[in-house]
Chains A and B, each alone.
Chain A
Amino acid sequence: MLVVEGLVKKFGGFTAVDNVSFKVDQGEILGLIGPNGSGKSTIFNMLSGTFPPTAGSIRFAGSEVSGLPPHKIINRGIGRTFQIPRPFRRLTIFENVALAGYYGQGSHSLAQANEAAEKALAMVGLPTDRTASVDGLGAAGLKKLELAKALATGPKLLLADESLGGLDETEMDQAADMLRKIRDELGITIIWVEHIMGVLMRVVDRVMVLDHGEKISEGLPSAVSSDPRVVEVYLGTDADATQAAAAEARR
């Protein structure tokens, strides 16, 4: 469904993403993990058209989408959420989502937008009442709204950016189950970027690990979490890596 080849992004002399290639299959949930500054968000921003790649190709559903402006990419069927929820506070919850339905699907039909908004709000578990204000939402509610906005654009592929930051454990589990539900019920393929490894590993089909802009590991969650290179960069310190390796050896 999505084929990324030789993706590179340079900011001045700094290479944020260095020659990354990967594929996502229809109906899959791909986890994308890596420490801070490893290039996860940069990859997301290129996939969603926030900025063009320096080099490389992004083919979605058979056609090249790299370098297209964001609204065109969304109309092709790639929706996204932001790491920090970015609601429009001057609009109601319903208007936030209806807006995404109106412009995101490229249909510019009011009836279709309202229908999409109602479905998306029901899916994430927010009230479909038209007057509810964004100000009444807490951290978990804002993340749900962020997700509802992305769903209303009618994506075939959803880019979910660190959707669990700032949530407690129950909320985290609920959010993870939500992503799985979105895949199972709506058939939406998902790329999920996350810091928190535990919850992610439980839900995703496959994981890709980045470090300093390079892909260092890819595969099934069980295989990747025992990959010594992943353990080393992900846990950060040598001591941790040695400990993990020792634990591995003892087994």
Chain B
Amino acid sequence: MTSSVTLQKLVPWIVGAALIALPFVYGDPYHLHILILILIWSFAYTSWSMMGRFGLVSLGHGGFMGVGAYVTALLWNHLGVSPWVGIPIALVCAGALALVVAYPCFRFRITGHYFALVTLALSGIVLQIITATRDWTGGSLGYTPSRTTGSHLAALQFDDKTTWYLIALGVWAGGLLIWYWVDRSMDRYALEAISEDEDAAAAAGVNVTFEKLKITVISALMTAFAGAMYCQYQMFISPDTVSGIAISLQMVFAVVVGGIYVAMGPTVGAIITIMLAEGLRVGFGTKAVGWDNLVYGVLLVVFIIFLPKGILGSLLARIRSSSKR
């Protein structure tokens, strides 16, 4: 018994060490590229699930991601501000945006479907702003941060896939740490209580509006950071890839499929969505453009009806119940 418990404690360390060692053993650039994308998107999905797991379903996280990516890139191209400064500024912008949208919602108790609709407008607005200011942002054609002529580190631009893989791995692990940190805090109980019954939570002394704002801002900051990371890695962003409703829906889909209530659920979701998108791209080429969104839509409905805990969530629940027996 004790040996199996210590073994269980060792597993994350062993997996972590293996993940760190991977690029030094196996260096195929295409596969590393896919892994980097999976890690960055896993982090983005984890960010969404921070609030999604408490019934705060946002369809506007594409907006936060877009702010993170575009503010960082625009500051770099137009003002020469290093991403080391630009990213914190982008995060402040995303946090402010989250407060502006969420505070009135929470103050006037706009919850459930209505909250989702308000946030849906948010991702639409950010998309419109990016397209409307095309003289600066390149509009729907996309935007490329200028290649640095100086230090790669200062510009946060690296040509080497291994470096990016390690950065993405660190960001992903950081996301999981934040997830666990919230999961073990009293805030989690408060948010679970709020998601069940706001009045009863308030009667237990919980400041409902404040708790909801707190988790929303954390989630928005993380999502914006994911946008900035994606931008620095891909060196190309467009409204379709980091903002807008499609991206927002993709986040919801991935998390629901992977498992909304478990730490690794969003990661499993990212693996599935990115493999799906890549599989369609490689298998069918340009004929399959947009198919992934169609498949997401159908699968989302199927999962919500038949497997609401998601793949990983259902699997873990099954293992737990069979080990009890």
A103 touching B197, Cβ below 8 Å: no
Chain B residues whose CB sits within 8 angstroms of the CB of A110 once the complex forms: 186
Interface: A108 (CB within 8 A): yes
* Number of B interface residues in the complex (CB < 8 A): 18
Chain B residues whose CB sits within 8 angstroms of the CB of A91 once the complex forms: 189, 192-193
**Residue interface mask B71-89, A partner, CB < 8 A = 1:** 0000000000000000000
B193 touching A102, Cβ below 8 Å: no
- Smallest beta-carbon distance B281→chain A, Å: 40
The distance in angstroms between the C-alpha atoms of A110 and B187, with both chains bound, is: 11
**Residue interface mask B201-228, A partner, CB < 8 A = 1:** 1111111100000000000000000000
A71 touching B186, Cβ below 8 Å: no
The distance in angstroms between the C-alpha atoms of A50 and B202, with both chains bound, is: 8
The distance in angstroms between the C-alpha atoms of A106 and B206, with both chains bound, is: 9
* Number of A interface residues in the complex (CB < 8 A): 32
Closest to B185 in A: A110
- Smallest beta-carbon distance B109→chain A, Å: 12
- Smallest beta-carbon distance B129→chain A, Å: 35
- Smallest beta-carbon distance A201→chain B, Å: 27
A149 touching B199, Cβ below 8 Å: no
Interface: B200 (CB within 8 A): yes
- Of A89, A99, A105, which is within 8 A of B186 by CB? A99
- Of A80, A90, A106, A108, which is within 8 A of B192 by CB? A90
B203 touching A70, Cβ below 8 Å: yes
A82 touching B203, Cβ below 8 Å: yes
A105 touching B200, Cβ below 8 Å: no
The distance in angstroms between the C-alpha atoms of A49 and B207, with both chains bound, is: 12
Residue with the greatest number of chain B CB neighbours at <10 A, chosen from A69, A80, A91, A100: A100
- Smallest beta-carbon distance A82→chain B, Å: 7
Interface of B is mostly: helix
Chain A residues whose CB sits within 8 angstroms of the CB of B202 once the complex forms: 49-50, 69-71
Interface: A104 (CB within 8 A): yes
Closest to A98 in B: B189
B207 touching A153, Cβ below 8 Å: no
A153 touching B205, Cβ below 8 Å: yes
Chain A residues whose CB sits within 8 angstroms of the CB of B205 once the complex forms: 70-71, 74-75, 100, 102-106, 153
Interface: B196 (CB within 8 A): yes
Interface: B126 (CB within 8 A): no
Task: Tell me the A71-106 residues at the B interface (CB within 8 Å).
Answer: 71, 74-75, 79-80, 82, 86-91, 95, 98-100, 102-106
Interface: A179 (CB within 8 A): no
**Residue interface mask A185-200, B partner, CB < 8 A = 1:** 0000000000000000
Chain B residues whose CB sits within 8 angstroms of the CB of A74 once the complex forms: 203-205
> Which B residues contact A (CB, under 8 angstroms)?
186, 189-190, 192-193, 195-197, 199-208
In the complex, besides A88-B193, A91-B193, 7 extra interface pairs with C-beta distance below 8 angstroms are A50-B202, A70-B203, A75-B205, A82-B203, A90-B195, A99-B193, A150-B203
